[in-house]
A = this chain, B = another copy of it.
């Protein structure tokens, strides 16, 4: 048997050819198929020559050439041709295989196909590839363009941040209330029947119930608290920074993972650094559980608000022309995120396609109004009990900054004008001003801000 390919591509028009070459250049072996076999042969003999590209002449041969679970992408004309290929390919696929439509299919067609194949256990993903031929060949991601890029960018981040937020809820419940895994299982199972319903909450409840046969303890309690640290979210971060988007909750979650990865160092530090005097919790258990629930819910909304804003900025910067309503639905389609919460996001963008920040949509504003008191209770309790809740804290600080008409940056501007004559603006009139802070000279109105520093800035 010959070596099987990592991915398959159906349809060798220019976009398809370029995408196949792009994938191959990223280190993937690619099986290719075109209805007219001569096209396939020509491609393999010319642009595909000497590359890990396997030409196939029948759909059967094509599917047989793919590693399992199979990943096949269609780069064919939207409409009937897609349905035709699906009808030929699907009988040959197995549960767990992935079929991707890279063409410009109507969103409603994609939804229909997704639902048709869902029952067969086949993952169907619709993602228009944009960027033209050049984009297909040289695009910065494996599959450049449109909603797909947004999906690639954000989906794993949301998943990771949601996992981390859940860990903070767990830490507060465990460390402040001293709850055992079995109590936590009940709480999470209950949460999964309400507003927090999600795959990760559901499996967390199952995790808390699992016993370790070796020790008889809850298995979660014997698992090492050391997350892997890969370059998670790095690109997102860079991108966010260069676009001045604040993704503090995402940053905090990434940093929490990094600190967790330094287990040996933490164990050593725990013996040197002063531990806080932690009082026994004397409040109402159920109230704190509800406060933690609300903190998790509100923080999750903030994380989505930040992520969607990042997507918006990226869409503008890279001319992706993202349609936010579609994106939320595509995620849902991809089974990545449960439907209920995403429906709310889709609805928010349907109400206002230009919605700048998810928090400003009435539905989410209302949730924040209902949860904010408890959110503060949970975070301040964590702080007073010495339980690290960096992502909860960052989310709350983001909310408190974002809803503040006045922040203390006026002092910052005054300092910069003091030490470096960087000038400032006023709240009561337009213009750019510089003050002689030590002497008695009247404030100067400056037409152009002075870029030079008077002296090295002090600490």
Contacts and interface: CB of A to CB of B under 8 A. Distances in A.
Interface of A: 69, 96, 123, 156, 158-159, 162-164, 166-168, 170-171, 174, 198-200, 202-204, 206-207, 210, 212-215, 219-229, 231, 234, 237-238, 241-242, 244-248, 251-252, 254-261, 265-267, 269-270, 272-277, 334-338, 341, 356-357, 359-360, 365, 368-369, 372-373, 376, 379-380, 383-384, 386-390, 393-394, 396-416, 418-419, 422, 424-428, 435, 437-438, 442-443, 452, 454-459
Nearest to A212: B443
A79 to B, nearest CB: 27
Given A234-B241, A269-B360, A200 B365 contact: no
A226 B411 CA distance: 10
Contact of A376 (B159, B224, B384): B384
Nearest to A458: B199
A390 B398 contact: yes
A255 B266 contact: no
A380 B247 CA distance: 22
B223 A244 contact: no
A224 B389 contact: no
Contacts of A336: 456-459
Contacts of A404: 266, 270, 388
B227 A412 contact: yes
Given A206-B437, A411-B166, A226 B270 contact: no
Given A96-B455, A246-B259, A393-B396, 12 more contacts: A123-B456, A156-B457, A159-B457, A174-B408, A199-B459, A207-B411, A225-B413, A228-B422, A231-B241, A270-B404, A335-B458, A390-B398
23 contacts: A96-B455, A163-B412, A167-B409, A174-B408, A203-B418, A204-B411, A207-B414, A212-B443, A223-B410, A224-B427, A225-B406, A228-B422, A251-B251, A257-B409, A259-B398, A266-B402, A270-B405, A272-B365, A275-B403, A379-B380, A388-B397, A390-B393, A390-B397
A220 to B, nearest CB: 5
A270 to B, nearest CB: 4
A300 to B, nearest CB: 9
A442 B400 contact: no
Copies in the complex: 2
Contacts of A247: 255
4 closest pairs, A vs B, by CB?
A199-B458, A260-B409, A390-B397, A388-B400
Contacts of A357: 265, 269
A227 B258 CA distance: 30
Contacts of A438: 206
Nearest to A402: B269
A387 to B, nearest CB: 7
A442 B219 CA distance: 12
Contact of A237 (B237, B413, B422): B237
A274 B365 contact: yes
A13 to B, nearest CB: 29
A210 B411 contact: no
A223 B273 contact: no
Contact of A428 (B222, B412, B425): B222
Given A242-B234, A425-B226, A273 B408 contact: no
Given A242-B231, A244-B258, A360-B272, A226 B413 contact: yes
A158 B457 CA distance: 11
Contact of A394 (B238, B275, B394, B401): B394
A393 B397 contact: yes
A17 to B, nearest CB: 28
